[in-house]
Structure 1
Amino acid sequence: MWTVLLTTAIIELRNVNSDFSKLRALIDQGSQNSFITEYAANLLGLKRERASVIISGIGSATRKCRGQVSITTTEKCSNGEIGTIALIIDTITKPLPSATTRNDGDIGLTLAVLADPDYRIKGRIDVLLGADIYGDILLDGIIHGTPTTQKKKIGWILSDLIATPQADNISISFVNTNDLDKRLEKFWIQEEVVSRGMLSKEEKECEAHYQATTKRLEDGRFEVQLPLKADPRIHRAPSSKAANLKYEAHEKRMLKNPKLLREYNECLQDYLDCGHMEKIPKDEMSLPSYYHIKESLRTTKVRVVFNVSAKTASGKSLNDLLMTRPTIQSLIITLLLRWRLYPVVLIADVAKMYRQIRVRSKSADLQRIVWRPNEADVIRHYRLKTITFVTANAPFQATRTLYHLAMNEQD
């Protein structure tokens, strides 16, 4: 008897304690969204958010999700991480494969490089990685055989017709549709006012650090210092080679799209022209930030995102070294009520807000990147001289600086 071997992977998901838990995932391009079971969401202990989504599949059968969580998994072939939003449901599918399969021969790869070394053994599925993340895990590499193997960032995945003693009929296809009636109902229901808790010890230290280290420069701009909870010198590790390899891989991909490459280089050139980045000598012991491209239709067409969560050989990333930031933004209901107190409301937008705030020299040394504007040039090292918006503390420092400015200029 023959059955279809669906692509599965053993992935490591970050839990609430910043450790990683191994779970079995199904890779399914036919699903618009990624999913996680209630069991796995509770196991990871991640903060869940409400999600008004109706899930429909074959035969138009529908079910409701139990909320959503942000999940992060590690790349098997590098120190990188991949993240997405997963909808919570009771179950995803029956255990896969539908029956334990025979080992009919050599697939040409060692078990260590496979995304799921136990692909032949029937097992529980707790995560589904859908089309929303599928493009982020793609790599070049395919081996045609029985089964067919494809290279992904989470390891080599397998799929094909295979021989089995017996099999159940399993068909999976998810379609995500928004329930308009539920969304309208939610819009008109007054949200419960959530009281803001006391600051933790680390959050208080973060606020004290800001007050002690922030200063205003002669040109009127503010200069801040990254709030570190650990000495970065203890966790320094050679990472320039890894940064170069990461950059060359991105560059190779962008060379196939000249428009993307041009806009990417223009973005970093703007950093240089504005004085927000400067060239520095090569330092093998630096902590560079990797980066990737994020295409956005709302703002600029291309935005360079520096991946400060990428771990170096020491096992630590820049974000791992930063203190937990306190939340100081006003609650949305407070802002809405404030609008009702005045006949006129003024709204303003700060252009390149984070890049208007400088960071001290020793903090800029932790924000190192590599770049070359032309493929024929030598890859050079740079450091970012302003707040980098993907760092864990950037929202706090930017908003806190606005409050600081308002207090200084209130007269």
Structure 2
Amino acid sequence: MYPKVGSPKTTKFSGSSATESTKRTLLPIVPVILRANGKKYHLFALLDGGSEISVIRKKVATLLGLKGRMERVVTRTVDGESRPTDHEIVKFNIASLDGRFSLDIIDVHVMDTFRLNKNSIGLTDLSKKWPHLAHVPIPSVLDEDVAILIGQDHPAAIEIFETRKDPYHQRAPRAYLTAFDWCVAGPAARSDETGRSCFHLSLSEDRCDNLLQHFIEFDTFGTKPNVMKPISRDEERAWEILGDTTKHNGERYESGLLWKLDDPALPNNFFAAQRRFSSLERKFSKDNKLAETYKGVINTYVNLKHARKLSKGDIDAGPSGRTWYNPHHPVFNPNKPGKCRVVFDLSAKCHGICLKDVLRRGPDLLTNLVGILLRFRQYAVPIVADVEKMFHQVRVWAIDGPAFRFLWRDPGSTKPVDVYQMNVHLFGAVSSPAVCSNALKQTVAELICAIIFAMELNPKPSAYRSDALPLSHNSQILIFNFYNEFKGNMFTLVII
């Protein structure tokens, strides 16, 4: 039987699957409130983009007291089968659980039941297998709880505002943010699937000349001459942007974003970001320790001037097409207990676009690691150092700053949500590695001219995230001067 008025019943399962002979496929199911004739019920809806009509279960229609006209309908399936049946056509209202979205659903067909497979997926196991789903708030549901099916005849109800996906697995399940809440859809491994082992597989024999060629290539890896390779138009444009916008402002370097187009035409995603922030606040209300830790990280950003609170004038001055509100959430490293990192989700989509889609990756400025290891043997003492919070040491060009906005207010506060803006490049932006590495290399080049050349050392640095500089003499003096000069340019080195 269907649940009574109130919260939907929950189990340890979620979604529906395909037949047992195939991998399970999760369907996009969301919690909704059905309202009609002064009654309301908390149930679930299946968002079916492949259906031309919307359907409601007969039992639910009876509970709501729905009445409508009778029509003769021919139901066709994907395999071509068709059968005429008499359906009652009704209408009602559905709303999201938070009451922010409401929609009248009309011309809904009343049917006895939907045939969804009852095999379901455990959300806990699913989150462990697919880390990108770990922080998605999804209610549990069985197919018996699905009361209505919403098809393409109501596109506003099935619209997707954001998508979370695994960038390395095209067939991984994806999380979708809809007007009602998050849902997960896509293929997932069967819970009873056993592991398979492959001990040896040979498709073809390598010819002797191919093996010799591979041997020569590996033997010379990292020692080949530095030949200038042709670059693409995309990389050439990235270099132009870096050359025009990378400047030292007297305190630190600043650089612009590597836009693919001069006018990226970003949509207004304020309300999508607001929904994500509301979800984050619900987590804070359940975990005071998380709320205080997260607040401390944001306050640190503000105190270090990595972020700032915007006034109304600043908000209104945001350039159209280049303003973007970035959702954020906490991430914890099991190797660093208690340390919380605020991660901005630059893959969050609005109207099919996300910030990552409109930024260039830029040139690869990392030096070949094998070459660095081989050159370590040239001198007696090398310096190996890590740059502390490297991406936060390079400021964003002022005109590009509105692309790094985010929403925030202190946990538990009832004041309106404030708009903040990151003043530095973000970890996770596809352009950040190229932008920050370029600023770091410019710093190294300047320091070499000022310090290293005077001490008659090799003026060409090598960098692989950390800097590895071979030393021949005066090692301690150089390390001290090198460290201080870097710190003066806001690149704090952690000597390893």
**TM tier relative to shorter chain:** 0.5 to 0.7
3-state SS of 1:387 partner: coil
In 2, distance between residues paired with 1:374 and 1:382? 15
Q: SS of 2:139's equivalent?
A: strand
Match of 1:310 among 348, 363, 379: 348
How far apart, CA to CA, are the structure 1 residues paired with 2:194 and 2:127?
10
What residue number does 1:173 align with?
194
The answer on whether the counterparts of 1:27 and 1:129 sit within 8 Å (CA) in structure 2 is no
**% same residue:** 21
Asked if 2 retains the 8 angstrom alpha-carbon contact of 1:324 and 1:393, the reply is yes
Question: Which of 226, 240, 245 is matched with 2:257 structurally?
Answer: 226
Q: Which runs of 5+ in 1 are unaligned?
A: 11-23, 29-74, 78-106, 122-127, 159-168, 177-188
Q: Judge conservation of contact 1:276–1:355 (CA < 8 Å) in 2.
A: yes
Alignment root-mean-square deviation, CA? 4.2
Counterpart for residue 390 of structure 1: 428
Between 1 and 2, higher relative CO (CA 8 Å, sep ≥ 6) is seen in: 1
**Which amino acid in 2 is paired with 1:385?**
N
Q: How does 1:173-192 map to 2 (within 5 A)?
A: 173-174=194-195, 192=218
Q: Which amino acid aligns with 2:140?
A: I
TM-score normalized by the length of structure 1: 0.59
Partner of 1:344: 381
Three-state SS of the structure 1 residue aligned to 2:406 is strand
- Once the two structures are superposed, residues 80-132 of structure 1 have per-residue CA deviations (whole angstroms, 9 ceiling, x without a partner) of xxxxxxxxxxxxxxxxxxxxxxxxxxx96445289xx99659xxxxxx96723
Aligned match for 1:153, one of 175, 179, 184: 175
The offset of 1:309, in angstroms, is 1.8
Change (3 A) 1:372 1:76: farther
State the shift of 1:175 in Å: 9.1
Paired residue type of 1:262: E
Q: Measured at CA, do residues 361 and 295 of structure 1 come closer, stay the same or move farther in structure 2, by a change above 3 Å?
A: same
Q: Which amino acid aligns with 2:267?
A: A
The alpha-carbon deviation at position 324 of structure 1 amounts to 2.9
Q: Quote the residue 1:141 is aligned against.
A: 139
Indicate if the aligned counterparts of 2:256 and 2:400 stay in contact, CA closer than 8 A. yes
Instruction: Tell me, yes or no, if the aligned pair for 2:245 and 2:256 is still in contact at 8 Å.
Output: yes
Q: Distance in 2 between matches of 1:25 and 1:250?
A: 32
Q: Which of 199, 221, 229 pairs up with 2:231?
A: 199
Distance 1:295 1:174, change over 3 A: farther
Q: Assess, with a 3 A threshold, how the Cα gap between structure 1 residues 360 and 156 changes in structure 2: closer, same or farther.
A: closer
Larger Rg: 2
1:132 aligns with 2:129: yes
The CA deviation at 1:246 is: 0.5
Native 8 Å contact 2:391 2:424 kept in 1: yes
Counterpart of 2:96 in structure 1 is none
User: Could you say what secondary structure the match of 2:360 adopts?
Assistant: coil
Offset of residue 266 of structure 1? 0.9
- After superposition, the C-alpha distances for 1:249-280 in whole angstroms (9 at most, x for unaligned) are 01111322222211111111111001111111
Distance 2:195 2:422 in 1: 43
1:310 is displaced (CA, Å) by 1.5
Map of 1:94-109 to 2, 5 A cutoff? 109=45
Secondary structure of the corresponding residue to residue 403 of structure 2: coil
3-state DSSP class of the match of 1:381?
strand
2:253/2:394 contact within 8 Å kept: yes
For the structure 1 residues 190 and 6, does the alpha-carbon distance in structure 2 shift closer, same or farther, using more than 3 Å as the test? farther
**Match of residue 367, structure 1, among 389, 401, 404:** 404
Tell me how far apart the structure 2 counterparts of residues 360 and 241 of structure 1 sit (CA, whole Å). Answer: 26
Partner of 1:294: 331
Q: How many Å apart are 1:208 and its aligned residue?
A: 2.3
Q: 1:276 to 1:340 in 2, by over 3 A?
A: same
C-alpha change, 1:141 and 1:347, in structure 2 (3 Å) is same
Q: Distance in 1 between matches of 2:421 and 2:261?
A: 20
- SS at structure 2 position matched to 1:212: helix
Q: Take 1:250 and 1:170, find their aligned partners in 2: how far apart are those partners?
A: 30
Are 1:244 and 2:274 counterparts?
yes
Asked whether the 8 Å contact 2:346–2:428 carries over to 1, the reply is yes
Q: CA deviation at 1:157?
A: 7.4
Distance 1:131 1:309 in 2: 21
One-letter code of the match for 1:324? R
CA distance in 1 between partners of 2:348 and 2:421 (Å): 16
Question: Are 1:217 and 2:153 matched, yes or no?
Answer: no
Name which of 443, 446, 449 aligns with 1:405. 443
Q: Residues 323, 156 of structure 1: CA spacing in aligned structure 2 closer, same or farther, 3 A cutoff?
A: closer
Superposed CA offset, 1:20-76 (max 9, x none): xxxx96379xxxxxxxxxxxxxxxxxxxxxxxxxxxxxxxxxxxxxxxxxxxxxx99
Question: Aligned partners of 1:138 and 1:389: how far apart in 2?
Answer: 21
Aligned equivalents of 1:250, 1:403: Cα separation in 2: 38
Shift of the 388–145 alpha-carbon distance from structure 1 to 2, 3 Å rule, reads closer
d(CA) in 1 for partners of 2:48 and 2:276?
23
The CA distance in 1 between the partners of 2:276 and 2:402, in whole Å, is 19
Secondary structure, aligned partner of 1:209: helix
Change (3 A) 1:118 1:302: farther
Q: Is 2:175–2:185's contact at 8 Å kept on the other side of the alignment? A: no
Matched letter for residue 392 of structure 1: V
In structure 2, the CA distance between the partners of 1:372 and 1:330, relative to structure 1 (3 Å rule), is same
Work out the CA distance in 2 between the residues paired with 1:244 and 1:385: 21
Shift of the 256–272 alpha-carbon distance from structure 1 to 2, 3 Å rule, reads same
Instruction: Tell me the TM-score normalised to structure 2 length.
Output: 0.50
Deviations 1:133-158 (A, max 9, x none): 26527534234564899xx9354679
Is residue 245–residue 397 contact of structure 2 (8 Å, CA) maintained in 1? Answer: no
CA gap 1:246/1:209 in 2 versus in 1, 3 angstroms? same
SS class of match (1:333): helix
Corresponding residue for 2:419? 381
| Unaligned runs of at least 5 residues, structure 2 | 1-12, 31-42, 51-113, 119-124, 148-173, 177-182, 198-214, 450-496
